Amino acid sequence: MLPLFILVPLFCLILLNVPPKAIVKRPAFWLVAALPLVQVFLTAFHPVAVWDEIRNPFNSYFIFNLSVDALSTVLLLSIGIVVFIAALVGRYTLSGETQRFNFFNLLLVAFLGMNATVMVQDIFALYVFIEVTAVASFILIAMQKDKPALEGAFKYIILSVVATVLMLSSIALIVMAAGDTSFAAVSSAIRAYPASVLVKVAVNLFLCGLFIKAGIVPFHGWLPDAYSAAPSSVSVLLAGIITKVSGVYVLIRMVVTVFGIEQSPQAVLMFVGALSIVAGALAAIGQSDFKRMLAYSSVSQVGYIILGLGCGTPLALAGAVFHLFNHALFKTLLFVNAAAVQEKLGTVDMNKMSGLSVKMPVTGATSVVALLSTAGIPPLSGFWSKLIIAMALWQSGQYAYTIIAVLASVLTLAYFLSMQRRVFFGKLQEGLENLTEARLGLILPAIILAVVTVGVGLAFPIVLDKLILPVQNILK
């Protein structure tokens, strides 16, 4: 049944574009919102392994295998949540029916691209679907066609091309060594020649490409521009999930399943992770643009995931994946808040606003939830993932990195409190007396995400048990 995760969006895409536009423009939103929602329910409440066993006629038409393990399940769930939220935000922030319709179409392309990325078992197919997602996101960023948007998209394309070249060369080298591109074949080839220079070069080239895609320091230059120039709904999608799937997930998958932790440069991963945490947080402190600050915060939080991955123990991996999931929740929420502020005030310059939570109580309160979760303050979900990463790091003797990871939360808290002080907390800015709360379409996603963030934080034993701790088995 797994191909349906790709085929149904593809079919819907065709369905939206064959009939005359006038008929399909209105129902497009419902279709695009329903699909990810169904995916959320399927992955959250039914073990995906069951569908893996159900054979179906589609399988024989694919030249690549699809498979789902605990890691992919978490990702499928996150993709569903974020795409659904992005669809809602897009419906209420984009102007013009045509632009909305284009957005929904591209969203579907990105959706199927990401779904396929997390399920394929073949590095070439993986590359293809990363590109499918990337092409959709280039256009999404540039959708408004103004100068910053084109600049952001251009930067993203150029750096993505570099990443692509690195990954393709790596794949070429791997094919030379392994003769095949399936995960299993590559993995056994790499394990057979651990000392081979060719293999080492291939592994490192691929990882460099992924660092660019994930926006990790020092390859993060494109990320703040892309996030802040894109329309709100697109930054929700980009920050919440696209870079996480095409960069971070693939990195985890390659390191864990394909290259093997032992063959990967663990020290480099941990160093780059810690560097991202600190550099991203320090850069975020200096921002006065709401979205840019969130972008740097993303860089910093991805650092935690990479640090956990580099640590390499099963518990650290589970913590990293949990943080990936949490990051999708809270960063999406913050970008939804930013969208609400931008929608009402027409600006994201934090120096031009103050005391907004007087007039926008829901936006203000949900952003508090999100920022506390990001900073790892209990009882919110982000606390548990950071705690697990810290526990795993400490257990494996990485004391210095643990201290950096834990104390960097103070930096996170510092820039978010500064954001909260400038935007929401405090006295209402003069001239904003007539401000009202953003419309329901923007509040609703914020409330949903805040409830999920608090819920995951409180019901952490269930989430750990059902969703996160099984991830450890990948390494065993």
Q: Which residues bind another protein (CB under 8 A)?
A: 315, 355, 372, 375, 377-379, 383, 387-388, 390-391, 394-395, 402-403, 406-407, 409-410, 413-414, 417-418, 421, 425-427, 460-461, 464-465, 469
Is 129:99 a contact under the CB 8 Å cutoff?
no
CB 40, min distance to another protein, A? 24
Shortest approach of another protein to residue 462 CB, angstroms? 10
Of 98 and 395, nearer to another protein (C-beta) is: 395
Token look-up 């809270």 returns 330
Would you say 132 or 307 has its CB closer to another protein?
A: 307
Please report how close the Cβ of residue 310 comes to another protein at its closest, in angstroms.
18
Q: Residue 50 and residue 43: Cα distance in Å, rounded?
A: 11
The least CB distance from residue 379 to another protein, in Å, is 5
Closest to another protein by CB, 38 or 462? 462
The three-state secondary structure class of 250 is: helix
- 3-class SS of residue 378: coil
d(CA 210, CA 381): 27
CA distance 401 to 251: 20
**Sequence-ordered strand ranges (E) for 76-128:** none
Closest CB 388 distance from another protein, rounded Å: 7
Q: What is the DSSP string of 273-332?
A: HHHHHHHHHHHHHT--BHHHHHHHHHHHHHHHHHHHHHH-SHHHHHHHHHHHHHHHHHHH
The nearer residue to another protein, 37 or 377, going by C-beta atoms, is 377
Closer to another protein by Cβ: residue 335 or 401: 401
Nearer to another protein, 332 or 402 (CB): 402
Residue type for position 97:
E
Q: Tokens 């390659």, residue?
A: 254
CA neighbours closer than 13 Å in the CB half-sphere of residue 93: 31
Please give the backbone phi and psi of residue 120, each rounded to the nearest 5 degrees, phi first. -70, 155
Nearest CB to another protein, comparing residues 269 and 315: 315
Smallest distance, another protein to C-beta of residue 405, A: 10
SS3 221: coil
Helix, coil or strand: residue 264:
coil
Q: Is 349 helix (H, G, I), strand (E, B) or coil?
A: strand
Closer Cβ to another protein, 51 or 394, answer by number:
394
Residue with Cβ nearer another protein (153 or 411)? 411
Between 15 and 377, name the residue whose CB sits nearer to another protein. Answer: 377
Q: Could you give the CA distance from residue 386 to residue 400 in angstroms, rounded to a whole number?
A: 15
In 3D, which of 286, 282, 272, 323 has the Cα closest to residue 301? 323
How far apart are CB 426 and another protein at their closest, in Å? 5
Contact 355, 420 (CB under 8 A): no
Q: How far is the CB of 448 from another protein (least distance, A)?
A: 18
SS3 182: strand
The amino acid sitting at 445 is P
Q: How far is the CB of 464 from another protein (least distance, A)?
A: 6
Work out how close the CB of 427 gets to another protein at its nearest, in angstroms, rounded to a whole number.
5
